[in-house]
């Protein structure tokens, strides 16, 4: 099934009962005291977002860095993809039975295999790699499409959603396309299509409309080849992230579009003059139009200055319609990244209205709290905690660029993650990020950004969070730096460094690579704990897991260059390939839904 091709459509408006925000929420406090793996059993919990355990949910339902979503329903299960640039593996896949509680499935790209800049020995692909894509299920096969801005349109396929996924097939070159593909198979005509934001790459002088061009290409029925030169269907300021649907005799194209432009705005930089909205194109005649255009979702009051757009339609078993979309980064402190909201959809005169019309202008706005679309399923969430007892990494983890596979292991010491230290990559135009290409400041030349095998996962929520990890540091060698990292637009490290005299010393490093030296650590065991209250974070350390000592300043975690703050581990050596650090376990407590482990 793909984009409602096999659904019997009828004009059904879902309930527009808006549940006012109830102060407070039920949360089971989890014990994060340092402990052995036998203490890992916890209860499910609720919190300040997601499933509330009472038949309602609070947006964002995925309050973490899961941007650029697309969703495909097969049977009673909804499958979501989201982008994550140069992180490897790429294109996370999640699944849900009720649209509210989501679990990890895996990734569509086992690694970013199509270009050398994403490899551990280059690490030169910051900001690029996997961008917004489209997931589809067609004639028993799974498809994921995406455009790497530097390389073009590609597709990967699989017989099973959990993989293995094929090597990417390149379909169009970067000279023709910009971003955000979406596909549609029309069973009535046996034609297949893909719509793409081609930006200004093919724009002729005759097109005087400001903004991005969006073109529809005919595609082979097996979804792997482009058959024509494409036809222009819409141009608009920042118009992108199209999705194609067909319902009750109408063609619909959903698009995100900037409604106020400012030429001074650079990618990834907040500018309050800009506001992003969701628009819909509608045509009775053809997939190529002509189209009527209407705004169907704007930011409203529930989420401050954060614009709301770019997502996918879903339908519940009771016939009600729903829309999943991201909150844009135009806010003072969107340090968790771009989260996902779930909105009810009402169909009025064959036009969708997303959310609720809080100001009675005919345009929907996001809800804060609402009734769940499908009730009866337990609270679940993407994985976070890990005991590293499997011989495969959990799907919550992603590497900063493709890892050096010879330098990490889950089997050399079963039950532990081993990160071996590689020599830092050299400075130069072929290695690491360019100045201001990735970080929020001029710290782009810091060693951290050229250190391979950094492993991390997303933070959850924006209120409070505490993560703790247990390390064995007995394998640390002279010149090695290893430990815990928080990073998004900038990084903050707490770990140990191996000294020439064979001793090991604690250190803290900020995003400008300023190092604060700490005491000698004589124990082989080190616990690192980091906590945040909103965007202010701290580090603590312990050698016995009981008494924790603060070290380093209170620092600010931040969104930067299209990613939110992340939690993870690092290990590199300033002199040679030497040394390792072992991670016994990782635990993460946050103010949101979490399933039994």
Give the rounded distance of the alpha carbon of 94 from its chain centre.
11
> What is the per-residue pLDDT for 273?
56
> What is the per-residue pLDDT for 373?
98
53 Cβ neighbours under 8 A, 6+ residues apart = 26, 46, 379
Asked whether 529 and 466 are in contact (CB, 8 A), the reply is: yes
pTM (two decimals) = 0.92
23 has pLDDT over 60: no
> What is the per-residue pLDDT for 192?
98
Q: Are residues 290 and 419 in the same domain?
A: no
Whether residue 190 is contained in a domain is answered as: yes
Mean pLDDT, rounded, for 215-226: 98
437 has pLDDT over 90: no
Nearest to 469 by CA among 488, 452, 453, 482: 482
> What is the per-residue pLDDT for 436?
75
> What is the per-residue pLDDT for 65?
97
Q: Are residues 184 and 256 in the same domain?
A: yes
pLDDT digits (tens, 9 = 90+) for 303-316: 988 899 999 999 99
Nearest to 133 by CA among 125, 143, 141, 124: 143
| CATH number for the domain harbouring residue 212 | 2.115.10.20
Asked whether 159 and 165 are in contact (CB, 8 A), the reply is: no
Whether residue 432 is contained in a domain is answered as: yes
Q: Are residues 50 and 87 in the same domain?
A: yes
Whether residue 23 is contained in a domain is answered as: no
> What is the per-residue pLDDT for 29?
30
Q: Are residues 476 and 516 in the same domain?
A: yes
Question: pLDDT category, 394, cuts 50, 70, 90?
Answer: very high
In percent, the amount of the chain with pLDDT more than 70 equals: 89
Strands of the sheet with 70-74, listed across from one edge = 70-74, 77-81, 90-96, 103-109
Q: Are residues 426 and 363 in the same domain?
A: no
Helix (H, G, I), strand (E, B) or coil at 275: coil
Nearest to 180 by CA among 193, 194, 168: 194
Q: Record the tokens describing residue 430, joined without a space.
A: 């072929």
Element (H, E) at 404: none
Q: Record the tokens describing residue 545, joined without a space.
A: 């897991």
Whether residue 210 is contained in a domain is answered as: yes
Q: Are residues 83 and 134 in the same domain?
A: yes
Q: Are residues 210 and 324 in the same domain?
A: yes
| CATH number for the domain harbouring residue 486 | 2.60.120.200
pLDDT digits (tens, 9 = 90+) for 176-190: 999 999 999 999 999
Strands of the sheet with 321-327, listed across from one edge = 308-315, 321-327, 340-348, 351-354
592 has pLDDT over 80: yes
Q: Rounded CA gap, 235 and 217, in Å?
A: 16
> What is the per-residue pLDDT for 305?
81
Whether residue 15 is contained in a domain is answered as: no
> What is the per-residue pLDDT for 441?
82
Q: Are residues 100 and 246 in the same domain?
A: yes
Mean pLDDT, rounded, for 349-364: 96
* Alpha-carbon dihedral angle through residues 292, 296, 299, 301, given to the nearest 10 degrees: 140
333 has pLDDT over 80: no
> What is the per-residue pLDDT for 272?
56
Q: Are residues 479 and 556 in the same domain?
A: yes
Q: What is the DSSP string of 65-113?
A: S--S-EEEEETTEEEEE---BTEESEEEEEEESSSSS-EEEEEEESS-T
Question: pLDDT category, 19, cuts 50, 70, 90?
Answer: very low
pLDDT digits (tens, 9 = 90+) for 27-43: 333 333 333 433 334 47
In this structure, are strands 191-199 and 491-498 parallel, antiparallel, or unpaired? unpaired
298 has pLDDT over 70: yes
Please report where in the chains the tokens 């292991």 appear, as a residue: 409
Mean pLDDT, rounded, for 234-245: 96
pLDDT digits (tens, 9 = 90+) for 476-515: 999 999 999 999 989 999 999 999 999 999 999 999 999 9
> What is the per-residue pLDDT for 332?
64
Mean pLDDT, rounded, for 218-229: 98
Report the domain count for the chain: 2
Q: Are residues 404 and 367 in the same domain?
A: no
In this structure, are strands 212-219 and 191-199 parallel, antiparallel, or unpaired? antiparallel
Q: Find residue 364's DSSP bridge partners.
A: 297
**Total count of residues recorded for the chain:** 597
Q: Counting beta carbons within 10 angstroms of the beta carbon of residue 175, is it exposed (0 to 12), middle (13 to 18) or buried (19 or more)?
A: exposed
In percent, the amount of the chain with pLDDT more than 90 equals: 83
Residue 41: give the domain boundaries: 37-262+270-371
Evaluated on CA atoms 182, 86, 415, 542, the torsion sign reads negative
Q: Are residues 87 and 232 in the same domain?
A: yes
- Range list of β-strands (E), 425-543: 455-458, 464-472, 480-487, 491-498, 504-509, 515-520, 525-533, 536-542
Whether residue 525 is contained in a domain is answered as: yes
275 has pLDDT over 90: no
535 has pLDDT over 60: yes
pLDDT digits (tens, 9 = 90+) for 501-512: 999 999 999 999
CB atoms near residue 326 (< 10 Å): 28
Whether residue 179 is contained in a domain is answered as: yes
Domain stop point among 371, 390, 419: 371
> What is the per-residue pLDDT for 112?
98
Whether residue 8 is contained in a domain is answered as: no
Q: Are residues 357 and 408 in the same domain?
A: no
Q: What is the DSSP string of 299-328?
A: --STTTT--EEEEEEEE-TTS-EEEEEEEP
Q: Record the tokens describing residue 467, joined without a space.
A: 């993560």
């Amino acid at each position: 099934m793909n984009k409602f091709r096999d659904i019997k459509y009828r004009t059904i408006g879902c309930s527009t009962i808006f549940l006012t925000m109830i102060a407070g929420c039920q949360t089971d406090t989890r014990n994060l005291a340092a402990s052995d793996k036998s203490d890992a059993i916890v209860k499910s919990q609720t919190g300040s977002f997601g499933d509330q355990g009472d038949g309602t949910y609070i947006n964002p339902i995925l309050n973490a860095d899961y941007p650029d979503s697309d969703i495909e329903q097969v049977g009673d299960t909804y499958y979501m993809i989201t982008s994550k640039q140069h992180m490897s593996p790429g294109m996370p896949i999640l699944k849900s039975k009720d649209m509210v509680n989501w679990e990890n499935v895996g990734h569509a790209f086992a690694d970013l295999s199509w270009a050398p800049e994403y490899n551990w020995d280059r690490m030169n692909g910051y900001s690029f790699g996997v961008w917004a894509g489209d997931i589809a299920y067609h004639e028993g096969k799974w498809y994921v499409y995406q455009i790497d801005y530097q390389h073009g349109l590609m597709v990967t396929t699989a017989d099973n959603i959990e993989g293995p996924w094929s090597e990417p097939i390149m379909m169009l070159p970067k000279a023709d396309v910009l971003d955000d593909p979406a596909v549609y198979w029309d069973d009535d005509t046996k034609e297949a299509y893909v719509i793409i934001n081609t930006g200004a790459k093919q724009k002729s002088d005759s097109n005087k409309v400001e903004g991005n061009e969006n073109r529809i290409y005919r595609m082979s029925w097996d979804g792997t080849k482009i058959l024509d030169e494409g036809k222009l269907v819409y141009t608009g300021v920042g118009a992108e992230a199209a999705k194609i649907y067909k319902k009750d005799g109408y063609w619909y194209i959903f698009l995100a579009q900037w409604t106020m432009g400012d030429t001074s705005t650079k990618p990834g930089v907040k500018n309050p003059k800009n506001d992003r909205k969701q628009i819909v194109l509608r045509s009775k005649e053809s997939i190529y139009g002509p189209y009527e255009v209407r705004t169907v979702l704007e930011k409203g009051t529930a989420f401050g200055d954060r614009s709301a757009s770019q997502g996918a339609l879903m339908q519940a078993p009771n016939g009600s319609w729903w829309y999943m979309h991201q909150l844009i980064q135009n806010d003072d402190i969107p340090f968790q990244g771009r989260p996902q909201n779930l909105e009810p959809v009402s169909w009025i005169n064959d036009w969708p209205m997303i959310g609720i019309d809080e100001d009675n202008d005919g345009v929907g706005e996001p809800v804060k709290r609402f009734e769940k679309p499908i009730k009866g399923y337990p609270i679940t969430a993407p994985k976070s905690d890990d005991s590293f007892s499997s011989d495969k990494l959990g799907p919550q983890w992603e590497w900063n660029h493709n890892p050096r596979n010879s330098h990490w292991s889950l089997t050399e010491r079963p039950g532990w993650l081993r990160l071996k230290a590689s020599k830092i990559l050299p400075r130069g135009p072929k290695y690491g990020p360019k100045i201001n290409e990735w970080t929020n400041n001029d710290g782009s030349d810091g060693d951290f950004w050229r250190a391979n095998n950094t492993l991390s996962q997303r933070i959850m929520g924006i209120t409070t969070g505490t993560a703790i990890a247990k390390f064995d540091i007995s394998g640390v060698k002279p010149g090695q730096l290893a430990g815990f990292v928080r990073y998004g637009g900038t990084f903050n490290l707490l770990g140990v460094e191996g000294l020439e005299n064979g001793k090991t010393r604690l250190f803290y490093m900020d995003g400008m690579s300023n190092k604060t030296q700490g005491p000698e650590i004589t124990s082989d065991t080190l616990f690192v704990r980091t906590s945040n209250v909103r965007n202010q974070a701290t580090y603590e350390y312990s050698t016995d897991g009981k008494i924790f000592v603060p070290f380093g300043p209170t620092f600010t975690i931040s969104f930067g260059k299209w990613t939110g703050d992340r939690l993870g581990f690092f290990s590199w050596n300033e002199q040679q390939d030497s040394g390792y650090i072992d991670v016994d376990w990782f635990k993460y407590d946050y103010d949101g839904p979490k399933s039994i482990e």
